[in-house]
Amino acid sequence: MGEFTEGGLLGGRVAYRQLVRGHRTGFEPVLLAASCPARAGELVLEAGTGAGAALLCLAARVPGVGGIGVELDPALAQLANENFKNNGLTGVFCVLADAARLPFPANAFDHAIANPPWFNSAGTLSPDEKRSRAHHAGPGLLTAWVDGLARCLRPRGSLTLIMPAASLSAASAALRKACGGITLLPLWPRAGAPAKMIILTARKGTNSPDAILPGLVLHDEAGITPEAQAVLRDGMSIY
């Protein structure tokens, strides 16, 4: 499967292995997990689960939640399942499948989450195939992911994406077509700085108005802000 590193998430509460080469986990899956409004007994679908960081963090915050991750890379799917097992999770697992062609029936999940590839495929590709696949979106990929995830959601189920701010227009258009009103949460690198990342949430079959939340400031002069630490280290909900 390749070499991997041993580490942890949420201040070490979650054991986490990831491959040495390819895409490396950052803040995004932890913030994505903190944005999912799942409750115990509900079932969450994640597209592009990688080594399982988002579902691991979600299960740590919401004991009793069920989760299915979808991953196209066999080595990552295997590693995700090993991570779930090593953390004692029996209701969370990863399947090998294409997130643009989800192998699930309609109305099967309460929530869906994703950190889709976002770089334009016409740009410079990484020489590392795994990193390139994780970061670069082909034509129509975002819409295919959103449409597929929305199809799998039950009525009023939530669909949450974490994306670069530059992808706001494309992601909003895809979500509005598939779901309804959109809630935007900006992620500010520092107070007063433009947001580089955003979290978008919509609910299937609802007509709620769009909303912009105050957002989360990630860093200050001392490092990671206390508010961000509460999410990234302590596993609190972002809302």
CATH number at residue 200: 3.40.50.150
Helix H or strand E encompassing 200: strand 197-203
Q: Which residue has the higher pLDDT, 208 or 92?
A: 92
Token representation of residue 189: 């690198």
Q: Which residue has the higher pLDDT, 2 or 60?
A: 60
User: Structurally, how many domains does the chain consist of?
Assistant: 1
Q: Which residue has the higher pLDDT, 130 or 238?
A: 238
What is the arithmetic mean of pLDDT over 46-58?
97
The whole-number pLDDT of residue 91 equals 97
DSSP designation for 208: P
Does 187 score more than 70 pLDDT? yes
The whole-number pLDDT of residue 133 equals 47
What is the arithmetic mean of pLDDT over 187-208?
96
In-domain check, residue 159: yes
* Alpha-carbon gap, residue 217 to 168, rounded angstroms: 18
What is the arithmetic mean of pLDDT over 197-207?
95
- pLDDT band for position 124 (50/70/90)? very low
Token representation of residue 80: 């995700």
Kindly state the percentage of the chain with pLDDT values over 70. 90
In-domain check, residue 238: no
pTM exceeds 0.85: yes
Does 78 score more than 70 pLDDT? yes
Q: Which residue has the higher pLDDT, 127 or 29?
A: 29
* Alpha-carbon gap, residue 223 to 239, rounded angstroms: 21
DSSP character string of 220-231: ETTEE-HHHHHH
The whole-number pLDDT of residue 137 equals 54
In-domain check, residue 108: yes
In-domain check, residue 239: no
In-domain check, residue 81: yes
In-domain check, residue 237: no
- Taking only the tens place, the pLDDT of each residue in 141-182 is 999 999 999 999 999 999 999 999 999 999 999 999 999 899
85 is in which domain, residue-wise? 4-232
Helix H or strand E encompassing 160: strand 153-164
